[in-house]
Structure 1
Amino acid sequence: MAALIDETGEMDALFFDQKPEFAWHEGLLIEGTTLQVPFMADAVTMVNPASKYSFLNYLHHQKRLYHFYFLESFHIPRREYNHYLQWVSKQLSSCRFSKRVIDVAEHSDGYEVSVEDVLTGHVETYYAKHVVLGMGSAPNLPEWTAAGSRNLYHSSEFLQRRNEALGETVTVIGSGQSAAEVFLELLKEQVTAGFKLNWLTRTDGFFPMEYSKLGLEHFSPDYTDYFYRLPRSLKDEVVSKQDSLYKGISADTIADIYDLLYERTIAGQKPDVQLLAKTAVKDISEYGGGLLLDCYHWEEGESFKVETDTVIAATGYKTLWPKAFSSLAHLMKWDEAGRPVISRNYQVEMHETRDEHKVFIQNGELHTHGVGAPDLGLGAYRNAVIINSIAGKTIFEIPEKNVFQHFGIQHLARKKQTV
């Protein structure tokens, strides 16, 4: 959003981040891993391809255009995507790091924003007509008994902790891309490190994510429009059935794992590896200097235990409503599940209409806008909608039809009326 606004000359904006510098999933920037979306899902391209902040312009400045040209891949290294976003953020004076927003309160001319300097503890106050909250997400670690143990940690910390002693047995828990990438890295190290390796998941199997071209059209403004019109009572049910669209493993990663396992079984070798699906980890407790997993194979209906020294839990992320916005909670509308009610233009609905002073949500609208909410390919689009709403005019053109299929039958009614 900062990059898009910077080139419009239409509004003044500041962006606060408590981190010391920009960092995108730094714990999972494993060498050889790629984005699961095309490189055009950068900060700007999908609404302003001529922007100086595009990924292609970044490559030009890095003198890597021909390297990328010959690479012939839409899916760029994850490490390079992080470096690209750092390159963008360093050019934006509106981005302020080591700044923690501690309160946002109503003010006669909009909102009063209290910001603490993480390094000095000094608090400054800013006044804004509008506020945009980048929700993001936080690592989700189940409330197992051993939570807090040094030997049990979330996959988001993997790179920071990969050089620690893992012990004789290492267990990965999870069914998504992060679990697969961590397992593959550990599998590569297993021969020299000599540990036993487990991979447990409660899903039906180690299945690939849906990646067909028509399936990908669910990550479009068109599907967002369709999903938003669905009754609120139906939305949660729909999302719960769409895991394969965004929670599976890439087919390439599965192939890499299988190929390596095949290589390790040549000449009768038997790698000390266990992959087990349909297994729910009910609890993890400390046991004899290690960890004990209470597991349940839900299809066979049998409980069993697994002893391990280290657990790396790729158990996903959860959306947390920041405490800094607690002062606004009484002004906002909430649904029956305690989630903010969000308009189609990503504006938080209030009990009293505030057309002059708005609050917007980024990446906290899965329950209202569907599976595309966290998708990088819709980030620039969402920001363009918000910027247009704040400006009260069209700064970024947004096409009405972006995909080949129709997700509902509303267009049939329009055609009938036209006839």
Structure 2
Amino acid sequence: MSTGHDVLDVVGIGIGPANLSLAALLAAESSELNVAFLDRKPHFGWHSGLMLPDAQMQVHYLKDLVTPVDPTNPFSFTAFLVATKRFYRLLVTGRSKVPRREFEQYCRWAAERIPNLRFGVEVREVTWNGELFVVHTDQGVLHARNVVSGTGLVPRLPSFATGHDPQEVFHASTLLDVPRTFAGRRVAVVGGGQSGAEVVHHLLTSPDRPASIVWGTSRSNLLPLDDSPFVDELFVPNYSRYFHGLPAKRRMELVDEQKMASDGVSVSLLEAIYHRLYDLEMLEGEERPCRMLLGHSLTTVDKTPTGLLTRWMPGAGAEVGHEVDVVICATGYRHGLPRPLHGLPRHLREAMCGDDGEITVRPDFSLDWEGPQDRRMYVQNAARHSFGVADPNLSLLAWRSATIANSVLGYERYDVGEVGAVLDWTSSADSDVALTF
């Protein structure tokens, strides 16, 4: 890697689907821009710790890296299907949502072909020298006019889970990172969202199935993903643009109200778990292979001579205790200023909103800072309280990248304007949502 002072137009930090999408769009502008995307991994990988065999995507496969804004781009999912001789096979399946492993295969295929991607390079810090961003890596220093952080979200590990043997208490995102066996063991799964459900389904169908499972969630039930047609229009550009213009307090309220549009469990997965439990109990005669604690929050995990004592507190009533051998925390991810940007001016960290300390983001996904307007720091997957529940979702992946690309280029290379929709999002006098059909 060059350690000189050649100035790059864009340095992308992290190569997940978000920055891979941006790299795919900017590849068409290679004559105009000098860019580099960096990732510490040796090759492309996406949620490898949770790449469970039966995990399915929750979005249509055409919501890929590029298609919604650039359908003729050579790095589209359709191009991948044709290149891998599976186009007709997929159509015959009738699927609109593909296995998560297939989407990762697609991203890896694209990563092997998109120029200016550098794997095996760790970004340690980004600083500002008064004129340019200085990107410090383990292989030298790069100077850039713009940086785009796409490092992903940080797993949220609750306080009760810290200080324990990581083989016994760990975040679900690391489930497959190391060899593990659960045969004959007692397992607690914390969290009633999609990840928690995927972990439980995996445990129930695994050849080394645990002796018992305790599945606890603070939610009142195992709530399904709300992907009905009108709710799905929260995941079109029109709504994200409207949402960004609302007062901060209203945005925070809406994120909470619309949680099940992004954090519910796929109905097909809930059905698969229910069917599996029926088969185990009714057909195979097993007694309660999975005990569910609805409306319960795990408060403590204490080591005992024979395992781990987990204590669960209901919304009302007495505390419940279960001794287990393993605790898997499907407890979500922490939003906020991406780690590589922590070395930048202090006022960036103060521009926060939301309980997670989320950052204030401009309409072009750049941070609101006091530096030169032609020097920008963009963030991907870090603006839920600025753009709504769709921000960490793949649905607007290409639209967000196109918005960033237009901002970097200084002109509208990609159409990111209004799209056809049933719902019209307008602001009323009190900034509440008004819908016109």
Query: Which residue in 1 is equivalent to 2:53?
Result: 31
**Cα deviation, residue 330, structure 1:** 2.9
How do 1:206-355 residues align onto structure 2 when only pairs under 5 Å count?
206-266=222-282, 269-272=285-288, 273-298=290-315, 300-330=316-346, 332=348, 334-335=350-351, 337=353, 338-352=357-371, 354-355=372-373
| CA distance in structure 1 between the aligned counterparts of 2:113 and 2:248, rounded to whole angstroms | 41
Query: Which residue in 1 is equivalent to 2:74?
Result: 52
Deviates further, 88-97 or 51-60:
88-97
Q: How much is the aligned-residue C-alpha RMSD, in angstroms?
A: 2.1
Q: Partner amino acid for 1:88?
A: A
Contact 1:207 1:249 in 2 (8 A): yes
Query: Which residue in 2 is equivalent to 1:173?
Result: 190
Equivalent pairs, count: 402
**Cα deviation, residue 332, structure 1:** 3.3
Contact 1:294 1:306 in 2 (8 A): yes
Query: Which residue in 1 is equivalent to 2:5?
Result: none
| CA distance in structure 1 between the aligned counterparts of 2:268 and 2:359, rounded to whole angstroms | 37
SS in structure 1 of the partner of residue 128 of structure 2: strand
Whether 1:97 aligns to 2:119 is: yes
Query: Which residue in 1 is equivalent to 2:381?
Result: 363
Whether 1:396 aligns to 2:418 is: no
Q: Deviations for 1:339-383, whole angstroms, at most 9, x for unmatched residues? A: 43211111111124x222111111111121111110111111011
Contact 1:46 1:377 in 2 (8 A): no
Deviates further, 315-324 or 127-136:
315-324
SS in structure 1 of the partner of residue 346 of structure 2: helix
Contact 1:221 1:402 in 2 (8 A): no
**Cα deviation, residue 194, structure 1:** 5.7
1:241/1:131 Cα in 2 relative to 1: closer, same or farther (>3 Å)? same
Structure 1: 5+ residue runs without aligned partners?
117-122, 412-419
Whether 1:4 aligns to 2:25 is: yes
Structure 1 segments (4+ residues) deviating >6 Å: none
Deviates further, 234-243 or 156-165:
156-165
Q: Deviations for 1:76-117, whole angstroms, at most 9, x for unmatched residues? A: 11111111111111112311111111222223542222111x
Q: Partner amino acid for 1:334?
A: E
Q: Percent identity?
A: 28
**Cα deviation, residue 173, structure 1:** 1.2
Structure 2: 5+ residue runs without aligned partners?
1-21, 430-437
Q: Deviations for 1:210-265, whole angstroms, at most 9, x for unmatched residues? A: 01011111011111112111111222122122211111110000111111222223
SS in structure 2 of the partner of residue 390 of structure 1: helix
Q: Partner amino acid for 1:215?
A: V
**Cα deviation, residue 400, structure 1:** 1.3
| CA distance in structure 1 between the aligned counterparts of 2:334 and 2:228, rounded to whole angstroms | 27
Query: Which residue in 1 is equivalent to 2:150?
Result: 134
Whether 1:76 aligns to 2:98 is: yes
Q: Partner amino acid for 1:269?
A: G
Contact 1:172 1:183 in 2 (8 A): yes
SS in structure 1 of the partner of residue 176 of structure 2: helix
TM-score, length-normalised on structure 1?
Answer: 0.90
| CA distance in structure 2 between the aligned counterparts of 1:326 and 1:268, rounded to whole angstroms | 54
Contact 2:335 2:358 in 1 (8 A): no
Q: Partner amino acid for 2:28?
A: E
Q: Partner amino acid for 1:379?
A: L
Q: Deviations for 1:167-225, whole angstroms, at most 9, x for unmatched residues? A: 431111111111111111111237x6461122111100011110101111101111111
Q: Partner amino acid for 2:147?
A: V
**Cα deviation, residue 331, structure 1:** 5.5
Contact 1:166 1:310 in 2 (8 A): no
